[in-house]
Amino acid sequence: MTPKSLQDDAILVTGAAGDIGAIGRNLTAMLLAKGHRVRALVRREDERAEALRRLGAEVVQGDLTDLSSMHRAIAGTKRIYFGMSVSAAYLEATINTAAVARHHGVEAFVNMSQMTVSQMSITETTDSPQHKLHWLAEQALAWSGLPVVTVRPTVFLEGFFLRLAADAVRKHDELALPLGSSKTSPISALDVANAVSVILDDPAPHIGKIYNLTGYESVDLDHYARAFSDALGRPIRYRDIPLPAWIDALKNAGVSPHLASHLAAMADLHTQGSYDRMTDDLFQLTGKAPTSMHDFVKLHAAEFISR
Protein backbone atom coordinates (compact mmCIF):
# COMPACT_ATOMS: atom_id res chain seq x y z
CA MET A 1 0.00 0.00 0.00
CA THR A 2 1.42 3.39 -0.97
CA PRO A 3 1.54 6.49 1.27
CA LYS A 4 -1.15 8.05 -0.93
CA SER A 5 -3.60 5.21 -0.31
CA LEU A 6 -2.93 5.37 3.43
CA GLN A 7 -3.82 9.06 3.57
CA ASP A 8 -6.68 9.41 1.11
CA ASP A 9 -10.32 8.64 1.57
CA ALA A 10 -11.68 6.22 -0.98
CA ILE A 11 -12.79 7.38 -4.42
CA LEU A 12 -16.20 6.07 -5.42
CA VAL A 13 -16.52 4.78 -8.98
CA THR A 14 -20.07 4.06 -10.10
CA GLY A 15 -20.79 1.70 -12.99
CA ALA A 16 -17.56 -0.07 -12.12
CA ALA A 17 -18.58 -3.41 -13.60
CA GLY A 18 -18.63 -1.74 -17.00
CA ASP A 19 -20.58 -2.14 -20.20
CA ILE A 20 -19.83 -0.32 -23.46
CA GLY A 21 -16.19 0.64 -23.22
CA ALA A 22 -16.12 -0.12 -19.48
CA ILE A 23 -15.16 3.39 -18.37
CA GLY A 24 -15.83 2.53 -14.73
CA ARG A 25 -13.78 -0.67 -14.77
CA ASN A 26 -10.84 0.95 -16.55
CA LEU A 27 -11.04 4.00 -14.30
CA THR A 28 -10.95 1.75 -11.24
CA ALA A 29 -7.76 0.09 -12.48
CA MET A 30 -6.16 3.43 -13.32
CA LEU A 31 -6.91 4.97 -9.92
CA LEU A 32 -5.64 1.89 -8.11
CA ALA A 33 -2.44 2.11 -10.15
CA LYS A 34 -2.05 5.72 -8.99
CA GLY A 35 -2.20 4.50 -5.38
CA HIS A 36 -5.76 5.50 -4.50
CA ARG A 37 -8.25 3.49 -2.52
CA VAL A 38 -11.22 2.80 -4.78
CA ARG A 39 -14.74 1.83 -3.82
CA ALA A 40 -16.40 0.25 -6.83
CA LEU A 41 -20.19 0.31 -7.04
CA VAL A 42 -21.76 -2.59 -8.92
CA ARG A 43 -25.38 -3.58 -9.47
CA ARG A 44 -24.87 -7.27 -8.84
CA GLU A 45 -22.36 -9.72 -7.45
CA ASP A 46 -20.88 -11.63 -10.36
CA GLU A 47 -17.54 -12.46 -11.95
CA ARG A 48 -17.00 -8.81 -12.85
CA ALA A 49 -17.33 -7.81 -9.20
CA GLU A 50 -14.82 -10.50 -8.25
CA ALA A 51 -12.43 -9.21 -10.91
CA LEU A 52 -12.61 -5.74 -9.36
CA ARG A 53 -11.78 -7.20 -5.94
CA ARG A 54 -8.78 -8.97 -7.42
CA LEU A 55 -7.59 -5.61 -8.73
CA GLY A 56 -7.71 -4.30 -5.16
CA ALA A 57 -10.99 -2.38 -5.13
CA GLU A 58 -13.52 -2.39 -2.33
CA VAL A 59 -16.70 -3.59 -4.03
CA VAL A 60 -20.13 -2.38 -2.91
CA GLN A 61 -23.35 -3.71 -4.38
CA GLY A 62 -26.13 -1.18 -4.85
CA ASP A 63 -28.50 0.78 -7.04
CA LEU A 64 -27.97 4.42 -8.00
CA THR A 65 -31.67 5.12 -7.52
CA ASP A 66 -31.76 3.61 -4.01
CA LEU A 67 -31.11 6.02 -1.14
CA SER A 68 -29.74 3.45 1.28
CA SER A 69 -27.43 2.03 -1.38
CA MET A 70 -25.91 5.39 -2.06
CA HIS A 71 -25.34 6.17 1.63
CA ARG A 72 -23.41 2.89 1.91
CA ALA A 73 -21.47 3.71 -1.24
CA ILE A 74 -20.66 7.36 -0.52
CA ALA A 75 -20.06 7.46 3.25
CA GLY A 76 -16.31 7.65 3.81
CA THR A 77 -15.48 8.85 0.29
CA LYS A 78 -14.45 12.34 -0.79
CA ARG A 79 -14.38 12.01 -4.58
CA ILE A 80 -16.97 10.51 -6.87
CA TYR A 81 -17.12 9.46 -10.48
CA PHE A 82 -20.75 9.37 -11.59
CA GLY A 83 -21.48 7.51 -14.79
CA MET A 84 -24.51 5.50 -15.81
CA SER A 85 -25.51 3.69 -18.98
CA VAL A 86 -28.43 4.94 -21.07
CA SER A 87 -31.53 4.60 -18.89
CA ALA A 88 -34.93 6.18 -18.38
CA ALA A 89 -33.97 6.40 -14.67
CA TYR A 90 -30.86 8.48 -15.40
CA LEU A 91 -32.11 11.76 -13.91
CA GLU A 92 -33.43 10.07 -10.76
CA ALA A 93 -30.08 8.32 -10.32
CA THR A 94 -28.13 11.55 -10.78
CA ILE A 95 -30.16 13.54 -8.27
CA ASN A 96 -30.27 10.69 -5.76
CA THR A 97 -26.48 10.36 -5.92
CA ALA A 98 -25.95 14.12 -5.81
CA ALA A 99 -28.20 14.57 -2.78
CA VAL A 100 -26.32 11.93 -0.81
CA ALA A 101 -22.97 13.28 -2.00
CA ARG A 102 -23.89 16.75 -0.74
CA HIS A 103 -25.00 15.28 2.60
CA HIS A 104 -21.61 13.62 3.04
CA GLY A 105 -19.62 16.69 1.92
CA VAL A 106 -17.68 15.30 -1.03
CA GLU A 107 -14.85 17.41 -2.44
CA ALA A 108 -15.27 16.44 -6.11
CA PHE A 109 -18.14 15.05 -8.19
CA VAL A 110 -17.08 14.10 -11.72
CA ASN A 111 -20.18 13.82 -13.91
CA MET A 112 -20.08 11.87 -17.16
CA SER A 113 -22.34 13.70 -19.60
CA GLN A 114 -22.50 13.92 -23.42
CA MET A 115 -21.13 16.50 -25.83
CA THR A 116 -24.54 17.01 -27.42
CA VAL A 117 -25.54 18.84 -24.22
CA SER A 118 -23.24 21.69 -25.27
CA GLN A 119 -25.57 22.30 -28.23
CA MET A 120 -28.74 22.29 -26.08
CA SER A 121 -30.40 25.06 -24.09
CA ILE A 122 -33.63 25.93 -22.30
CA THR A 123 -35.25 26.29 -25.74
CA GLU A 124 -33.24 23.75 -27.77
CA THR A 125 -33.26 19.99 -27.28
CA THR A 126 -32.99 16.85 -29.41
CA ASP A 127 -35.30 13.95 -30.13
CA SER A 128 -33.33 11.77 -27.72
CA PRO A 129 -34.97 11.28 -24.31
CA GLN A 130 -31.50 10.50 -22.94
CA HIS A 131 -30.03 13.78 -24.17
CA LYS A 132 -32.76 15.66 -22.34
CA LEU A 133 -32.04 13.73 -19.15
CA HIS A 134 -28.34 14.58 -19.44
CA TRP A 135 -29.16 18.26 -19.95
CA LEU A 136 -31.51 18.30 -16.96
CA ALA A 137 -28.94 16.45 -14.86
CA GLU A 138 -26.34 19.10 -15.64
CA GLN A 139 -28.80 21.81 -14.62
CA ALA A 140 -29.57 20.06 -11.33
CA LEU A 141 -25.88 19.56 -10.55
CA ALA A 142 -25.23 23.24 -11.25
CA TRP A 143 -27.96 24.16 -8.75
CA SER A 144 -26.73 21.65 -6.16
CA GLY A 145 -23.70 23.60 -5.02
CA LEU A 146 -21.58 20.47 -5.34
CA PRO A 147 -17.96 20.73 -6.55
CA VAL A 148 -18.74 19.36 -10.01
CA VAL A 149 -16.47 18.60 -12.95
CA THR A 150 -18.35 17.82 -16.17
CA VAL A 151 -16.94 15.51 -18.83
CA ARG A 152 -18.70 15.51 -22.21
CA PRO A 153 -17.37 12.94 -24.68
CA THR A 154 -18.54 12.67 -28.25
CA VAL A 155 -19.79 9.30 -29.57
CA PHE A 156 -17.82 6.29 -28.30
CA LEU A 157 -15.79 4.11 -30.64
CA GLU A 158 -16.92 1.12 -28.59
CA GLY A 159 -20.59 1.92 -29.23
CA PHE A 160 -21.21 2.63 -32.90
CA PHE A 161 -17.98 1.16 -34.25
CA LEU A 162 -17.64 -2.01 -32.20
CA ARG A 163 -20.90 -3.17 -30.67
CA LEU A 164 -23.16 -1.90 -33.46
CA ALA A 165 -20.88 -2.40 -36.46
CA ALA A 166 -18.81 -5.51 -35.79
CA ASP A 167 -21.34 -8.05 -37.08
CA ALA A 168 -21.60 -6.51 -40.56
CA VAL A 169 -17.82 -6.12 -40.75
CA ARG A 170 -17.36 -9.79 -39.89
CA LYS A 171 -20.04 -11.14 -42.21
CA HIS A 172 -20.11 -8.71 -45.13
CA ASP A 173 -16.92 -6.60 -44.96
CA GLU A 174 -19.17 -3.57 -44.50
CA LEU A 175 -19.18 -0.71 -42.06
CA ALA A 176 -22.99 -0.56 -42.14
CA LEU A 177 -24.31 2.39 -40.15
CA PRO A 178 -27.01 5.05 -40.71
CA LEU A 179 -24.63 7.99 -40.27
CA GLY A 180 -24.88 9.64 -43.68
CA SER A 181 -21.94 11.40 -45.28
CA SER A 182 -21.11 13.86 -42.51
CA LYS A 183 -17.97 13.87 -40.40
CA THR A 184 -17.70 12.52 -36.87
CA SER A 185 -15.02 12.38 -34.17
CA PRO A 186 -15.56 9.24 -32.06
CA ILE A 187 -13.44 8.74 -28.95
CA SER A 188 -12.27 5.64 -27.14
CA ALA A 189 -13.83 5.03 -23.74
CA LEU A 190 -10.34 4.10 -22.54
CA ASP A 191 -9.15 7.63 -23.37
CA VAL A 192 -12.12 9.06 -21.48
CA ALA A 193 -11.33 6.90 -18.45
CA ASN A 194 -7.75 8.16 -18.55
CA ALA A 195 -8.96 11.77 -18.58
CA VAL A 196 -11.25 11.13 -15.61
CA SER A 197 -8.42 9.44 -13.70
CA VAL A 198 -6.32 12.59 -14.11
CA ILE A 199 -9.15 14.74 -12.78
CA LEU A 200 -9.84 12.52 -9.77
CA ASP A 201 -6.14 12.19 -8.94
CA ASP A 202 -6.03 15.94 -8.21
CA PRO A 203 -9.51 17.44 -8.63
CA ALA A 204 -9.03 20.91 -7.18
CA PRO A 205 -7.82 22.63 -10.41
CA HIS A 206 -10.76 21.17 -12.35
CA ILE A 207 -13.74 22.03 -10.14
CA GLY A 208 -16.39 23.92 -12.08
CA LYS A 209 -14.88 23.12 -15.47
CA ILE A 210 -16.41 21.37 -18.47
CA TYR A 211 -14.26 19.16 -20.69
CA ASN A 212 -15.47 18.32 -24.20
CA LEU A 213 -13.62 15.22 -25.37
CA THR A 214 -13.32 14.30 -29.04
CA GLY A 215 -11.38 11.65 -30.90
CA TYR A 216 -8.28 11.61 -33.05
CA GLU A 217 -9.89 13.28 -36.07
CA SER A 218 -13.25 14.32 -37.51
CA VAL A 219 -13.76 12.67 -40.89
CA ASP A 220 -16.48 10.89 -42.85
CA LEU A 221 -17.38 7.20 -42.73
CA ASP A 222 -15.64 6.41 -46.02
CA HIS A 223 -12.42 7.53 -44.36
CA TYR A 224 -13.11 5.30 -41.37
CA ALA A 225 -13.87 2.37 -43.70
CA ARG A 226 -10.39 2.82 -45.17
CA ALA A 227 -8.96 2.79 -41.64
CA PHE A 228 -10.77 -0.51 -41.05
CA SER A 229 -9.35 -1.85 -44.32
CA ASP A 230 -5.79 -0.88 -43.42
CA ALA A 231 -6.06 -2.28 -39.91
CA LEU A 232 -7.69 -5.57 -40.91
CA GLY A 233 -5.80 -6.15 -44.15
CA ARG A 234 -8.94 -6.64 -46.25
CA PRO A 235 -11.24 -4.18 -48.02
CA ILE A 236 -14.05 -2.79 -45.88
CA ARG A 237 -16.57 -0.41 -47.39
CA TYR A 238 -19.00 1.98 -45.76
CA ARG A 239 -22.68 1.45 -46.46
CA ASP A 240 -25.09 4.11 -45.29
CA ILE A 241 -28.17 2.14 -44.29
CA PRO A 242 -31.73 3.44 -43.81
CA LEU A 243 -32.32 4.57 -40.24
CA PRO A 244 -35.83 3.01 -39.81
CA ALA A 245 -34.62 -0.44 -40.82
CA TRP A 246 -31.59 -0.14 -38.51
CA ILE A 247 -33.76 0.82 -35.54
CA ASP A 248 -36.23 -1.99 -36.28
CA ALA A 249 -33.34 -4.46 -36.26
CA LEU A 250 -32.11 -3.12 -32.91
CA LYS A 251 -35.56 -3.43 -31.38
CA ASN A 252 -35.88 -6.98 -32.71
CA ALA A 253 -32.57 -7.73 -31.02
CA GLY A 254 -34.02 -6.62 -27.68
CA VAL A 255 -32.88 -2.99 -27.44
CA SER A 256 -35.22 -1.02 -25.18
CA PRO A 257 -37.43 1.72 -26.67
CA HIS A 258 -35.54 4.33 -24.61
CA LEU A 259 -32.15 3.26 -25.96
CA ALA A 260 -33.51 2.83 -29.49
CA SER A 261 -34.85 6.40 -29.45
CA HIS A 262 -31.50 7.65 -28.21
CA LEU A 263 -29.54 5.83 -30.91
CA ALA A 264 -31.95 7.01 -33.60
CA ALA A 265 -31.49 10.63 -32.51
CA MET A 266 -27.70 10.23 -32.44
CA ALA A 267 -27.72 8.78 -35.95
CA ASP A 268 -29.91 11.60 -37.21
CA LEU A 269 -27.68 14.21 -35.55
CA HIS A 270 -24.71 12.62 -37.30
CA THR A 271 -26.34 13.19 -40.68
CA GLN A 272 -26.81 16.84 -39.68
CA GLY A 273 -23.12 17.24 -38.87
CA SER A 274 -23.60 17.66 -35.11
CA TYR A 275 -20.70 15.31 -34.31
CA ASP A 276 -18.24 17.13 -36.55
CA ARG A 277 -16.42 18.51 -33.52
CA MET A 278 -12.79 18.73 -32.47
CA THR A 279 -11.20 19.91 -29.23
CA ASP A 280 -7.80 19.45 -27.61
CA ASP A 281 -9.26 18.92 -24.12
CA LEU A 282 -8.12 15.29 -23.93
CA PHE A 283 -4.53 16.23 -24.76
CA GLN A 284 -4.61 19.13 -22.30
CA LEU A 285 -5.73 16.75 -19.53
CA THR A 286 -3.62 13.69 -20.29
CA GLY A 287 -0.77 14.86 -22.52
CA LYS A 288 -1.70 12.09 -24.96
CA ALA A 289 -3.36 12.15 -28.37
CA PRO A 290 -6.68 10.32 -28.71
CA THR A 291 -6.72 6.75 -30.03
CA SER A 292 -7.07 6.67 -33.82
CA MET A 293 -9.64 4.49 -35.58
CA HIS A 294 -6.82 2.44 -37.11
CA ASP A 295 -5.28 1.70 -33.71
CA PHE A 296 -8.70 0.99 -32.20
CA VAL A 297 -9.56 -1.55 -34.91
CA LYS A 298 -6.14 -3.20 -34.58
CA LEU A 299 -6.71 -3.50 -30.83
CA HIS A 300 -10.10 -5.16 -31.35
CA ALA A 301 -9.25 -7.01 -34.57
CA ALA A 302 -10.55 -10.34 -33.28
CA GLU A 303 -14.05 -8.84 -33.02
CA PHE A 304 -14.06 -8.08 -36.75
CA ILE A 305 -12.91 -11.49 -38.00
CA SER A 306 -15.34 -14.29 -38.87
CA ARG A 307 -15.16 -17.15 -36.44
3-state SS string for the chain:
CCHHHHHCCEEEECCCCCCCCCHHHHHHHHHHHCCCCEEEEECCCCHHHHHHHHHCCEEEECCCCCHHHHHHHHCCEEEEEECCCCCCCHHHHHHHHHHHHHHHCCCEEEEECCHHHHHCCCCCCCCCHHHHHHHHHHHHHHHHCCCEEEEEECCEHHHHHHHCCHHHHHHHCEEEECCCCCCECCECHHHHHHHHHHHHHCCHHHCCCEEEECCCCCECHHHHHHHHHHHHCCCCEEEECCHHHHHHHHHHCCCCHHHHHHHHHHHHHHHCCCCCCCCCHHHHHHCCCCCCHHHHHHHCHHHHCCC
Q: Give the model's pLDDT for residue 3.
A: 43
Q: What is the mean pLDDT of each run of 10 residues along the chain (307 residues)?
A: 55 83 90 96 89 93 94 96 94 97 97 93 92 96 97 94 93 95 95 98 97 97 98 97 94 93 94 95 97 97 89
pLDDT of 11: 97
pLDDT of residue 223: 98
**What is residue 47's predicted lDDT score, i.e. its pLDDT?**
87
